[in-house]
Amino acid sequence: MTLPLIVYRSLRQHALSTLITAGSIALACGLLMTVWVVKTQAQAAFVSTSTTFDAVLGARGSKLQLVLNGIFHLEASPGNLAASDYELIRKHPAVKTAIPIAVGDNLRGYRIVGTVPQLLTNVEYAPGKNYAVAPGGKVFGEAAREAVVGSFAAERLGLKVGSTFQPFHGLTFDEKALHEEVFTVTGILTPTNTPADKVIWVPIKGVQTMSGHDPKAATDVSAVLIQLRAASAGVMLDLMINKQGNRMTFAYPVGAIMADFFGKISWFDRVLALVAYLVALVAAGSVLASIYNSMSARQRDLAILRALGARRRTIFGAVVAEAACIGALGAAVGFAIYFGLLTLVAGVIRAQTGVVLDVTESHAVLWICPLAMTALCALGGAVPAVKAYRTPVAETLAPVS
């Protein structure tokens, strides 16, 4: 009971500094875990979403822009493709599926994407998983002014089967840019935890022929989402469209483009990691400073313990254990901060990208970080522990008589 009692009483005696120090550690731990989990999960979610289609065909421009626009429903379209280009790729023997999309409108910030019903009926958004319309609804008709709304968008916009809406022109919401067409919601998609959840899907004709759009472009598409019959076909199409042609861009392979993108922004990860490490170091330093500064007040107690027979190593161990306890306490509270922050960040990421982070998913950092932080604090505690170790008993207890 000795060591736990000494540690417990010391923590109680210095409750305020204990709480403040543990708080800073909790913040550091929570931030570290959140940064790591968000980074890892977001990257994994983006990469897994990229597996639905092998390639995106669009106007000449950036491959990344095409992928972000066509698959993640972010970014603007680099331009349009003529209907003949779509037909050309659709009929290409190497292409298994070609889904055209047309963008350019929104409903209160949620993107309206025109496409063909086959996207919602025939395409797997993840291996073995097809889009499904919730009971009571149906997929829009190809030529009708109907819409199927992603689950997240439906929840945020309060749309139900039978609801009607008028689209707004552009990809960002401007209440003055209201189109006159009225669409009726025929179905709500069941949640997919993909960017499709924040999209309002309408027939491609609905976007192409919307009032105010260029009538000359009434058959154009923004991009074509492509599944290939074989990987080798992608190399061939890449050569044909990107290297030999100059009108279109064939973004292939989608996964590699996203991986390249994450590679390019990896410096940001490193900066975040560096900041998190620094926060952790500062937190460990605060443990050191907090205990060290209170050593003068504790020295009498330590000298009394020594006089009662406590060995130097017991005193050293008690101070280190106290620092470790502050670290462990901080790490425990850090979990609460982690869950709070992750929930918040996951909400923002979902709202912005449609990518869903799993707050309950386990990750190695969730045990490595608390353990490392506790060890770091114990290490920080070693400095005041040495001071405690050296406490001169007789001189501290009483002056020479």
> What are the CA-CA distances from residue 314 to residues 153, 162, 293, 296, 311 (Å)?
61, 74, 20, 18, 5
The contacts of residue 219 (CB under 8 Å, 6+ apart) are 82, 83, 208
* Helix boundaries (H) for 14-117: 15-49, 63-70, 83-90
**Least Å from the CB of residue 288 to another protein:** 21
For residue 128, what are its two tokens?
């073995």
CA 372, CA 27: separation in Å to the nearest integer? 15
Residue given tokens 């492509």 in the structure block: 226
160 or 313: CB nearest another protein: 313
Quick count: other Cβ atoms within 10 Å of Cβ 65?
Answer: 20
**Least Å from the CB of residue 316 to another protein:** 12
158 or 399: CB nearest another protein: 399
Interface positions, 336-365, toward another protein (CB under 8 A): none
Burial class (CB in 10 A: 0-12, 13-18, 19+), 262: middle
**Least Å from the CB of residue 401 to another protein:** 4
Nearest CA among 174, 172, 189 for reference residue 74: 172
DSSP class of 245 = -
**Least Å from the CB of residue 345 to another protein:** 41
Which of 84, 246, 296, 401 touches another protein by CB under 8 A? 401
**Least Å from the CB of residue 4 to another protein:** 11
Residue type, position 318, single letter:
A
For residue 19, what are its two tokens?
């709480």
Interface positions, 314-333, toward another protein (CB under 8 A): 314
Number of residues that bind another protein (CB under 8 A): 27
Would you call 150 helix, strand, or coil by DSSP?
Answer: coil
**Least Å from the CB of residue 296 to another protein:** 15
Instruction: Check whether the bond before 135 is cis (ω within 30° of 0).
Output: no
Interface positions, 1-40, toward another protein (CB under 8 A): 1-2, 5-6, 9-10, 12-13
Residue type, position 251, single letter:
A
Interface positions, 257-316, toward another protein (CB under 8 A): 300-301, 304-314
187 or 317: CB nearest another protein: 317
- Residue 390 found at the interface with another protein (CB under 8 A): no
- Residue 82 found at the interface with another protein (CB under 8 A): no
- Residue 388 found at the interface with another protein (CB under 8 A): no
DSSP class of 217 = G
Would you call 225 helix, strand, or coil by DSSP?
Answer: strand
**Least Å from the CB of residue 309 to another protein:** 2
- Residue 386 found at the interface with another protein (CB under 8 A): no
Q: What is the dihedral of CA 366, 369, 370, 371, to 10 degrees?
A: 110
Task: Considering only the stretches 48-56, 93-101, 182-190, 390-398, report the one whose residues sit in contact with another protein under the rule CB under 8 A.
Answer: 390-398
**Least Å from the CB of residue 10 to another protein:** 7
2 or 266: CB nearest another protein: 2
Work out the end-to-end distance of the chain between its first and last CA atoms, rounded to an integer number of angstroms: 35
2 or 166: CB nearest another protein: 2
**Least Å from the CB of residue 19 to another protein:** 16
Task: Considering only the stretches 133-141, 187-195, 342-350, 389-397, report the one whose residues sit in contact with another protein under the rule CB under 8 A.
Answer: 389-397
374 or 391: CB nearest another protein: 391
- Footprint of another protein on this chain (CB under 8 A)? 1-2, 5-6, 9-10, 12-13, 300-301, 304-314, 393-394, 397-398, 400-401
